[in-house]
Amino acid sequence: MTTTSNTADAIAQAPGLVCQGFVPPLKLRDFKLIAFDMDSTLINIECVDEIADAAGRKAEVASITEAAMRGEITDYKESLRRRVALLKGVTVAHMQQVYDERLQLNPGAAELVAACQAAGLKTLLVSGGFTFFTDRIRDRLKIDSTRSNVLEEQDGVLTGRMVDQAWGDICDGDEKRKMLLQTCADLGIDPSQAIAMGDGANDLPMMGVAGLSVAYHAKPAVREKAMVAINAGGLDRLLEVVRLEP
């Protein structure tokens, strides 16, 4: 039996790691871009839920978030507008408190991002969340580019609305897909050379056009459609499937 066969068998038997539609391992250097969702993928929380906690509305907002991530609410933009409206009156200081006290990188996030960067991949963060957090995670992990939503605020207080941007109004699943494809075009690469990693239904559009789709502790519908499902352990378990060798 060859070494590759031995490795593939070992991966196939690894607890909490599921591969479908291809024979592992792949080579990381064969890819040129990796795109990450943020909330519950790169980080441990859903930021909108934690911001809502400051307004005493976490349960109401979290129930909408959960239904949207499961794909039960098909209009993601409307679901986000409903949640953001409930944030009216929360202060920017409260958001900073969420970042400082509640937000953590998920296990293996920094290690995976660093390994991809060392292998020459560009990194992209696409989120249905908010620039307040994506900008900080971008700087913390030295991510190349981001796309997310802007919360409107006046005098340090959220208005319950979002700000339209040059590319559109809300970063939903379709916008994540467009951003991945546009980044590939800008880099002069084929989408088959991209990896897309997420956990919720709004990540499926970008995962569907990437060469390798990865579900991280994801909703059942996302796990079923992903080529790799990491159901136990950290994000860096992807490196068991996509190897660092030249």
Residue 209 within a domain:
yes
Residue 19 within a domain:
yes
139 catalytic residue (yes or no) = no
The predicted model scores a pTM of 0.93
Residue 174 within a domain:
yes
Q: What tens-digit pLDDT sequence spans the chain (246 residues)?
A: 455 667 777 776 789 999 999 988 999 999 999 999 999 999 999 999 999 998 899 999 999 988 888 888 889 999 999 999 999 999 999 999 999 999 999 999 999 999 999 999 999 999 999 999 999 999 999 999 999 999 999 999 999 999 999 999 999 999 999 999 999 999 999 999 999 999 999 999 999 999 999 999 999 999 999 999 999 999 999 999 999 876
Domains contained in the chain, number? 1
Nearest to 35 by CA among 231, 150, 187, 163: 187
CB count in 10 Å sphere of residue 111: 14
Residue 63 within a domain:
no
Catalytic choice (30, 37, 155, 186): 37
Residue type, 238: L
Q: Could you tell me the CATH number of the domain that includes residue 115?
A: 3.40.50.1000
Determine contact, residues 227/214, Cβ cutoff 8 Å. Answer: yes
Catalytic choice (39, 49, 172, 236): 39
Q: Residue 155: give the domain boundaries.
A: 3-45+104-243
Residue 180 within a domain:
yes
37 catalytic residue (yes or no) = yes
pLDDT the model gives residue 1? 42
21: left (phi over 0), alpha (psi -120 to 50) or beta: left
Residue 52 within a domain:
no
Give the burial class of 188: count Cβ atoms within 10 A of its Cβ; 0-12 exposed, 13-18 middle, 19 or more buried. exposed
